[in-house]
Amino acid sequence: GVLLHCCGAPAFWAGRGDLFEEALDKIRASWVELGKPRIITACPTCLNIFREHLPEVKLVSLWEILLEIGIPDSSCLHGTAGSIVGVVDPCATRHDPVEQKNIRRILMSLGMQIEELPLSGEMPECCGFGGLMYNANPVLARDVVARRTTASDNDYLAYCAMCRDNFAAAGKRVSHLIEHLFPAVAGGDP
């Protein structure tokens, strides 16, 4: 099955325990209704939320699955080979070096060259969305986005939708890894 629910992270960050529990209850109910299958998530924030708040659920990252089964034939394998991308590690992967390593393995299998951006790996800086920074302090959030998007002249590659959207809204050429693996248009620009 496919679950298209929000994990509730924005409510959690906002201190809205009632809304957060409501989101988790919907996910838990859908999971039970589906027969308690393993949940595969492409979102690092969802992965963290589920690990901490739904420990009964068996979880796996989409990136781990793709490394096991192989990169889809539909990927932009030939269109991206040789390109240099600045890898945007989302703050949600700060304590998940395996996830970060898996992303880099996938990028290398697509033939991409990786530029390590400042404050990546163990020290990734938030894109301005986490913790609802943009809502709490929009000036600081804009400063963070401006600093992050000018750290490199190369295109960026994100594996967090919020990082991708925040940087793209600021005018930075940035794609999400999903766009390279499952392109909307064959040979298109992700």
pLDDT digits (tens, 9 = 90+) for 20-40: 999 999 999 999 999 999 999
10 Å Cβ neighbour count for 99? 19
pLDDT band at 14 (very low <50, low <70, confident <90, very high): very high
Question: What pLDDT score does 187 carry?
Answer: 67
10 Å Cβ neighbour count for 58? 12
Q: What is the mean pLDDT of residues 82-99?
A: 93
pLDDT at 160 over 70: yes
Question: What pLDDT score does 33 carry?
Answer: 96
pLDDT band at 79 (very low <50, low <70, confident <90, very high): low
pLDDT in tens, 125-137: 889 888 888 889 9
Residue 59, CA distances (Å) to 70, 71, 84, 138 in order? 19, 20, 31, 34
- Report percent pLDDT > 90 for the chain: 73
Q: What is the mean pLDDT of residues 175-186?
A: 85
pLDDT at 179 over 70: yes
Q: If 0-12 CB within 10 Å is exposed, 13-18 middle and 19+ buried, where does residue 184 land?
A: exposed
Q: What is the mean pLDDT of residues 48-58?
A: 96
Question: What pLDDT score does 76 carry?
Answer: 63
Q: What is the rounded average pLDDT for all residues in the chain? A: 91
**What is the rounded distance in angstroms from the CA atom of residue 129 to the CA atom of residue 10?**
9
Q: What is the mean pLDDT of residues 81-98?
A: 91
pLDDT band at 188 (very low <50, low <70, confident <90, very high): low
Question: What pLDDT score does 128 carry?
Answer: 87
Question: What pLDDT score does 132 carry?
Answer: 87
Question: What pLDDT score does 80 carry?
Answer: 63
pLDDT at 78 over 80: no
